[in-house]
A and B are shown apart, each in its own frame.
Chain A
Amino acid sequence: MSETVRPDTGSIEAVEAGLIGANYICNRQTATAIYLARNLRKPVLVEGPAGVGKTELARATAHYLDLPLIRMQCYEGLDESKALYEWKYGKQLLYTQILKDTYGASLRGIESISEALEKIGDFDDVFFSEQFLEARPLLAALRQENGAVLLVDEIDKSDQEFEAFLLEILSDFQVTIPEIGTISATVPPLVVLTSNDSRDLGDALKRRCLHLHIGYPDAKLEERIIEVRVPGVEGRLRAQIVAFVQKLRTFELKKLPSVSETIDWARALVLLHVTSLDADAVRDTLNVLLKYESDIESMKKHVNSILAAVN
């Protein structure tokens, strides 16, 4: 993508093609979501099981739109100072120490207190200027000149209070820093929020977002994904891999294998020079697909029957 031509977001098809160009295969629903988000300037809230490509969607979108991706990982206890901005306290202290003599000298000879205060006030403004402002992800996203893709990852892990605070930014795309003033975005960033549904999000936040649910892909889509992400896999093996995983998802497991696991598995099989699925190869590599010991144990019994169904 060249620097001068902005990527085309004029239609859903263009978005879909663009995402494919960024190595992200998606269904039409996902493309529609990005298209609407871009054109309505609404944040997208992406939900779905772990590993279906929620975060990847943001990354691919950034790549496709040729914008920087600014990522903010949420966790319990995340607050404004870590998400928005913070003063560079250390630098401020250091500078005051260094400049001690300078302003000591400039204050010399001043008689009245009010005059001294005025002088100090000048210094004050210097120390609370943009120079000493540490931009955290949210502020950084607002300050990008050409806009950015802001990824707020796992919003459900953050606190309720933080969610409320986020609302303010998402609706107006501006923040107020008391010492400096209001900073508003030149180009509003495209915001992607992801959630694993570990807690219910507030209604206010939900209302402001487009809701995209990405589930496990169907076999056709998954094959295309594997084709793009793991080029070394041959057609027949690919079909086998996908069919096997699809079958696996019908069992009751603690953690169902996701797209990312399928990709990892395909990579592992390529690395092991497996050209066709057989029971031994599957048993040896099952730990790539399943993340719980109990899942692996219970599935080992079924490997043969699944393989029979797949082939």
Chain B
Amino acid sequence: MRFMRHAFADAADRMGRRDFIALAGSATAWTTLARAQAMPVIGYLGSESPERYASRLDAFRGGLADAGYAEGRTVAIEYRWADGQYSRLPALAKELADLPLTVIVAPGGAEVALAAKSATAKIPIVFELGGDPVALGLVDSLSRPGGNLTGVSSLSVEVSRKRLEFMREVRPGANLFAVAINPASPTSESQSRNLEAAAHSLGVELVVLRASAERDFSGMFTAVREGGAGGLVFSSDPYFAYRSNQLAALAVRDRVPAIMQSRDFPLAGGLMSYGGDFSQSHRQAGRHTGRVLKGQKPSDLPVQRVTKVELFINLKAAGALGLSFPASLLTSADRVIE
């Protein structure tokens, strides 16, 4: 053992730390693949860390199980995590594309799907996102994807405007609302336009706040509080969604009424959320993956839209903010947190 440890230490010294880790990493990858051999291998590209993806992964594995696959027994999964650094996604996708994979799963937003698409035009890719895959250029049409991509789309991006509407119902007296946009998101442009149009219809003013990193979050809430906006409406963006807890804490700290796409936000103390049910969309992504594993071509697999859009409201948060929900929201809410 001592000798071994020395040998490793020596090797690490000679090669430099980074190289050694890469080698060790590919060695584990190689053993995983070797063990799998007969098993098909899924490449899973995640934009965050496994911890942040935990609930999504559970849903995905549930979907795989629906299709008859169990990780480690009938299918192997090779993970690549960007740990929140979305700029690393294309490189990680490339890394996956070089492995002998049956399918690449690119869940959690347009960035992941686009990174996977840029990495390979041969390996089937199953995406999961909240936007319009046709507008994003991922597929030719929903019914006939055409290329090597297919997947699941929730309605999160499309319903951004509904968030503004709900926020206005909570703050009927306010005329100014803040909107959080992630300029790095491929859908930021369309969502901006969408929200501007909705604001016009509703007769309110918008202040657009841009945030593409965690360090921008605090200032964003401070700006809302100090700018006198009636509330903060988050555009649909996975970067925001995966940081719901952090954002909820800031909203509580700065006493800012806010609405997000992810249910995690009101569950963590935020005011409310309206967006697609991620557990459904990730589960569906798992089922889609299962079908690709069984040999169906992505070009023949229609993109599935998860039509369920859920409204969560948090009465406690409202009470803390000195607000009350109108009857219309109480009626429409899928879940009321008390």
Is B a genuine binding partner of A? no
